[in-house]
Amino acid sequence: MSPEDAAEPVANTRHSSEDGHVAMEPIWTRNVAEELHYVIQKYSRSTLDENDEDTFDVTMVAEYAPEIFNYMRELENKLVPDPNYMDNQDELKWEMRSVLIDWVVQVHSRFNLLPETLYLTVNYIDRFLSKRKVSLSRFQLVGAVALFIAAKYEEINCPTVQEVAYMADNAYSIDDFLKAERFMIDVLEFDMGWPGPMSFLRRTSKADDYDYETRTLAKYFLEITIMDSKFVASSPSWLAAGAHYLSRKLLNRGGWTELHVFYSGYTESQLRPLAEVLLQNCRDAETNHRAIFEKYQERRYRRSSSFVQEYLETVEQ
């Protein structure tokens, strides 16, 4: 739904399933649409800004950036999983998905793959399960094959099928993997180019002049969303904006400015409820997302998960 379409106030657009599972989405109202329209009109340019470093960086393709991100916003809506697909699964539950994703995070870290590969893997898993019923005995195969395909799509050097099979304790043969790979690609109708949240996070970071500390903490908040079934069908652009918003709050970087609204496409009123849920998920981090928590305790991630725990302890005193 675009800002222009939000002519009338819209209620909280959340999908509820038979088991009480609730999927989160941003709220669109007339006020939100008007604020976005104002900001877009104010900051949109018909020519490149000579004072912007991105203008002279050919890898940033600044002259095409607006069109690229408009297209990505279209794709994120097109390639969205069913938020209630577990209602149609006979042997699986949301808790089992959390276990699978936790395992995927560990394998992803073991191979030292790109963040984009992780998010693409999760999207493949959820979209596949939205279209096909899977037995519990083949559930891990779905995760492993999704990671294998996503690595081929994103990485320069991706793991071999033998290496991925080994990480699954050789529970499935190489032939099983290759057949499952062809089947998954067919079920997904060769739509493999889902725009993950990392590109949107970088775009939003432009409002902060790409502040490293803010973006690193935002990556932690962003990554924990893959563990929570409420975010299965949430737009990656919204999740990226919410993670960035919460990161700025914890680091005392100031308010959500008009430039943040412009580059993210979301107002503070749309991000505040999301930030509250993300912070709540951090209160029992070692239970909710153990692998991610341990990963972000590392120095290269500025020990972001530990920083959040210290923040929560200070707030709750």
pLDDT in tens, 16-58: 565 557 889 999 999 999 999 999 999 998 888 888 888 888 8
Looking at the structure, do residues 302 and 166 belong to the same domain, yes or no? no
Q: Which helix (H) or strand (E) is 23 found in, with range?
A: strand 22-23
Number of neighbours of residue 122 by Cβ within 10 angstroms: 28
Which residues form the domain of 34?
A: 29-78+195-316
Query: Residues in the chain, how many?
Result: 317
Looking at the structure, do residues 167 and 264 belong to the same domain, yes or no? no
Contact 18, 89 (CB under 8 A): no
How many folded domains does the chain comprise?
A: 2
Angle in degrees, CA 171, 173, 174, rounded to 5 = 130
Contact 81, 233 (CB under 8 A): yes
* pLDDT mean across residues, the chain: 92
The single residue listed with the structure tokens 């069908």 is 233
- Domain annotation covers residue 218: yes
Looking at the structure, do residues 135 and 237 belong to the same domain, yes or no? no
Residue 135 reports pLDDT greater than 50: yes
Looking at 187, 219, 238, which one is the last position of a domain? 187
pTM (two decimals): 0.92
- When pLDDT is cut at 50, 70 and 90, the band that residue 282 belongs to is very high
SS (H, E, C) 87-101: HHCCCCCHHHHHHHH
Predicted local confidence at residue 84, as pLDDT: 96
Looking at the structure, do residues 173 and 247 belong to the same domain, yes or no? no
Burial label for 145, CB within 10 Å (0-12, 13-18, 19+), is: buried
Looking at 187, 203, 235, which one is the last position of a domain? 187
Among 138, 132, 143, which Cα is nearest to 99's?
A: 143
Looking at the structure, do residues 171 and 282 belong to the same domain, yes or no? no
Looking at the structure, do residues 97 and 115 belong to the same domain, yes or no? yes
Query: Regarding predicted confidence, which is higher, 9 or 252?
Result: 252
Tell me the chain's radius of gyration from C-alpha atoms: 20
- Domain annotation covers residue 16: no
Angle in degrees, CA 67, 73, 76, rounded to 5 = 140
- Domain annotation covers residue 7: no
Q: Look up the CATH number of the domain holding residue 94.
A: 1.10.472.10
pLDDT tens-digit readout, 65-98: 999 999 999 999 999 999 999 999 999 999 999 9
Q: How far apart are CA 227 and CA 113, in angstroms?
A: 18
pLDDT tens-digit readout, 285-304: 988 999 999 999 999 999 99
Q: How far apart are CA 87 and CA 233, in angstroms?
A: 14
Contact 78, 68 (CB under 8 A): no
Looking at 123, 154, 187, which one is the last position of a domain? 187
Predicted local confidence at residue 10, as pLDDT: 29
- Domain annotation covers residue 5: no
Predicted local confidence at residue 19, as pLDDT: 59
Looking at the structure, do residues 183 and 205 belong to the same domain, yes or no? no
- Domain annotation covers residue 13: no
Among 153, 154, 170, which Cα is nearest to 162's?
A: 170
Looking at the structure, do residues 204 and 103 belong to the same domain, yes or no? no
